[in-house]
Amino acid sequence: MISVDFQSVPIITGEATLPLRWLRQLPLCELATRKSFRKSIPFGKSKLYNRASDKSQIVEVNVMWFWWFMLCCDLMIPLLMIVIGRLMWKRPPQKINSLIGYRTSRSMKNMDTWHFAHHYCGKLWWRIGWIILVPSLIIHLPFYGASDDAIGIVGLILTFIQIAVLIGSIFPTEKALKRTFTEEGLRR
């Protein structure tokens, strides 16, 4: 046990110790790992422990938080597809506009095509959202505790696939509009 005054608090760095004034010059990430080695007690005194397992636990906690962050990011697209799909399906915009809703030249012909496109696309998004939610969750499970790079690459690939599915839902909706309505927007 080492007893110190208020002016310099030694921090273990391998063999040597650093005074408190040097801590202000350290990068924030390095400071966080060094603080984990110190166990503070009241009245400005410190007990110092040099446990190698502490540093590995810090790395594991950082990876765990990045994994949770990427999981939340990768579940956003399916969850938004479920929520927005349900809204489009049950409550389409009342007027044809150029701001919100499923806006293509075929869907904006008249109110009938507008409501049909929202009903069809909303139902499609709602179903697809539930379908890609489960695999998105399952794909992340084996990467729990993996490196930041591996988790980031898997998350990026998964996001691109989800965006491709989201954009790809335009084609079946346009096909259904073409099958149901004429070029002038009248039902067949």
Query: What does the pLDDT look like over 100-140, one tens digit per residue?
Result: 889 999 999 999 999 999 999 999 999 999 999 999 999 99
- Copy the structure tokens of residue 133: 């939610």
Ranges of each domain in the chain: 11-50, 59-180
What gap in Å lies between CA 145 and CA 142, rounded to an integer? 8
Q: How high is the pLDDT of residue 53?
A: 52
What gap in Å lies between CA 163 and CA 183, rounded to an integer? 29
Residue 144's pLDDT band (cuts 50, 70, 90): confident
Which range of 32-36, 53-57, 75-79 scores highest in mean pLDDT? It is 75-79
Residue 63 has pLDDT above 50, yes or no: yes
Cα→Cα distances 127→13, 61, 109, 168, Å: 55, 35, 26, 14
| 23-36 mean pLDDT | 46
